């Protein structure tokens, strides 16, 4: 299974490297903005459809609960009717016994029904006495039989209702399970929508910065806006101890290196460039902290995975362009469109309790800087950071693996 995962990963990275289109003009940025706005509209539409499905499932659950309550009410009424019928049966039997006893006691010569019948004075009296006893017994027995039949019918109805109640309870459980699935999909749709909204906001800020710099629609933005980078690179921290590699890390692919450093340490731009983005990673509707940040104890809305992040575009003398990304920042001192120089302090590092609580960052387990680089001049998507990233060891030899350290 892992073999196929590696193949898929290789192909996705290959196509992202060779086939991604980078924005080179202001018009390209406007085209990107238009695409993002269409994606946002589609995400909103999908979210609305999921919301409608949630409402339908909720209505079905409410209907099932109403049916369960009605079934329980019908069962209760059937039990009452059964008890009443059984009471009537006992009463009717008692009436029959009392009548027979009356007839027996009316006969002074004996106390049995046979004596009552056979002590008739003549044949006509015999037929009369026999008829009285038979009619009375048949009538009462008929009533008893009817009541017994009713009891059987009520018991059958009770069993049917109990079965229906069980089926309805299962239906309700199935609907509740479906609701949880749809609800999870809604949260995912909401997160995607928020992510695209953040990208739209960043793109608008970037366009405005380039326009303020005097860039025309079809002018290369590298020539009108970006600071030209110099040969060589500056490490992003004065000192660090590497705590995570770029590449496979247990069951995930880590598209960056983690550089352990004290919370609040100065973070520096690795080369001259222009700030592409400066702000929080996408806002998540809800976060589950089980097994994630030790600094956040309970689930919360409007949380983040990565906290505050800055991305800087660097244009090299040889025409190559790169983007550097700095994540889990406690604070920042640059904004979108700002020109920076290599070694300039752009932020303070986070990853510890202060940063986690400040930005509700549930994706950090200790003080560090999450650092990566990518080819091209477009921002790295923080929700799917594969893009065209590469291992920073390419330009920073000290980032050669876990345990490696650097002191400038």
Query: Cβ contacts of residue 348 below 8 Å, gap of 6+?
Result: 263, 264, 265, 266, 267, 329, 330, 331
| Contact indicator for 209, 369 with CB cutoff of 8 Å | no
Asked whether residue 109 carries a pLDDT value surpassing 80, the answer given is: no
Distance CA 300, CA 357 (A): 11
Provide the pLDDT confidence category of residue 330 given band limits of 50, 70 and 90: very high
- Residues 196 and 138: their CA atoms lie apart, in Å, by 85
Query: Where is pLDDT greater, at 365 or 289?
Result: 365
Instruction: Specify the pLDDT at position 287.
Output: 65
**Residue 62 pLDDT > 70:** yes
Query: Which tens digit of pLDDT belongs to each residue from 166-187?
Result: 888 888 888 888 888 888 888 7
261: confidence class by pLDDT, cuts 50, 70, 90: very high
Please tell me which residue, 8 or 326, carries the higher pLDDT value. Answer: 326
**The CATH number of 39-215 is which of 3.10.290, 3.30.70, 1.10.260, 1.10.287?**
1.10.287
Query: pTM of the predicted model, to two decimals?
Result: 0.56
Nearest CA among 257, 284, 263, 292 for reference residue 402:
257
CB 287 within 8 A of CB 260: no
Please state, rounded to an integer, the average pLDDT across all residues of the chain: 77
The dihedrals phi and psi of 79, each to the nearest 5 degrees, come to: -65, -40
Is the pLDDT at 102 greater than 60, yes or no?
no
Which residue's entry shows tokens 């009619």?
A: 135
pLDDT tens figures, 183-240:
888 877 777 777 788 788 888 887 887 777 777 788 776 666 544 445 579 999 999 9
- Name the band, by pLDDT with cuts 50, 70 and 90, for residue 16: very low
Alpha helical stretches, state H, 107-122? 113-118
Q: Does the domain at residues 226-407 carry the CATH identifier 2.70.70.10?
A: yes
User: Which range in 43-57, 297-311, 324-338 is most confidently predicted, on average pLDDT?
Assistant: 324-338
Residue 25 has pLDDT above 70, yes or no: yes
Q: Where are the beta strands (DSSP E) in 235-378?
A: 239-244, 247-249, 252-254, 257-260, 266-268, 273-280, 283-287, 300-304, 308-315, 321-332, 339-340, 345-349, 368-375
User: What are the C-alpha distances in Å from 30 to residues 25, 36, 204?
Assistant: 9, 10, 9
> Domain residue spans in the chain?
39-215, 226-407
The phi-psi region of residue 247 (left if phi > 0; otherwise alpha if psi is between -120 and 50; otherwise beta) is left
Could you tell me the pLDDT band of residue 120, with boundaries at 50, 70 and 90? low
Q: Decide: helix, strand or coil at residue 354.
A: helix
CA angle 195, 199, 202 (to 5 degrees): 140
pLDDT at residue 132, rounded to an integer: 67
Instruction: Place 135 in a pLDDT band, splitting at 50, 70 and 90.
Output: low
Q: Helix axis angle, 26-106 relative to 123-212, nearest 10°?
A: 170
């Amino acid at each position: 299974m892992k073999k196929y995962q590696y193949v898929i990963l290789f192909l996705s990275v290959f196509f992202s490297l060779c086939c991604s289109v980078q924005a080179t003009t202001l018009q390209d940025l406007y085209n990107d903005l238009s695409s993002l706005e269409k994606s946002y509209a589609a995400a909103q539409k999908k979210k609305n459809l999921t919301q409608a499905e949630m409402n339908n499932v909720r209505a079905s659950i409410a209907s099932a609960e109403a049916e369960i309550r009605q079934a329980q009410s019908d069962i209760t009424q059937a039990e009452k009717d059964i008890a009443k019928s059984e009471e009537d049966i006992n009463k009717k039997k008692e009436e029959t016994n009392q009548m027979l006893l009356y007839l027996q006691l009316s006969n002074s010569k004996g106390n049995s029904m046979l004596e009552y019948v056979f002590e008739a004075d003549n044949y006509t009296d015999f037929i009369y006495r026999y008829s009285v006893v038979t009619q009375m017994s048949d009538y009462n027995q008929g009533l008893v039989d009817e009541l017994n039949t009713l009891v059987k019918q009520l018991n059958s109805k009770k069993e049917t209702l109990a079965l229906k109640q069980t089926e309805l309870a299962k239906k309700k459980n199935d609907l509740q399970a479906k609701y949880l699935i749809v609800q999870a999909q809604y949260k995912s749709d909401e997160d995607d929508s928020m992510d695209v909204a953040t990208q739209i906001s960043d793109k608008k800020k970037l366009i405005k910065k380039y326009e303020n710099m005097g860039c025309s629609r079809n002018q290369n933005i590298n020539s009108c806006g970006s600071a030209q980078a110099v040969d060589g690179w500056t490490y992003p921290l004065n000192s660090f101890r590497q705590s995570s590699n770029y590449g496979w890390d247990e069951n995930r692919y880590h598209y960056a290196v983690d550089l352990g450093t004290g919370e609040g340490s100065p973070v520096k731009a690795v080369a001259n460039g222009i700030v592409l983005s400066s702000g929080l990673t996408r806002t998540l509707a809800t976060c589950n902290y089980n097994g994630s940040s030790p600094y956040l104890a309970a689930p919360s809305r409007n949380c983040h995975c990565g906290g505050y992040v800055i991305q800087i575009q660097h244009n090299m003398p040889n025409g190559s362009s790169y983007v550097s990304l700095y994540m889990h920042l406690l604070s920042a001192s640059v904004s979108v469109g700002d020109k920076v120089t290599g070694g300039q302090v752009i932020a303070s590092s986070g990853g510890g309790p202060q940063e986690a609580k400040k930005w509700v960052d549930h994706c950090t387990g200790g003080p560090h800087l999450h650092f990566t680089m990518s080819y091209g001049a477009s921002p790295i998507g923080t929700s799917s950071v594969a893009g065209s990233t590469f291992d920073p060891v390419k330009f920073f030899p000290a980032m050669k693996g876990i345990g490696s350290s650097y002191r400038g």
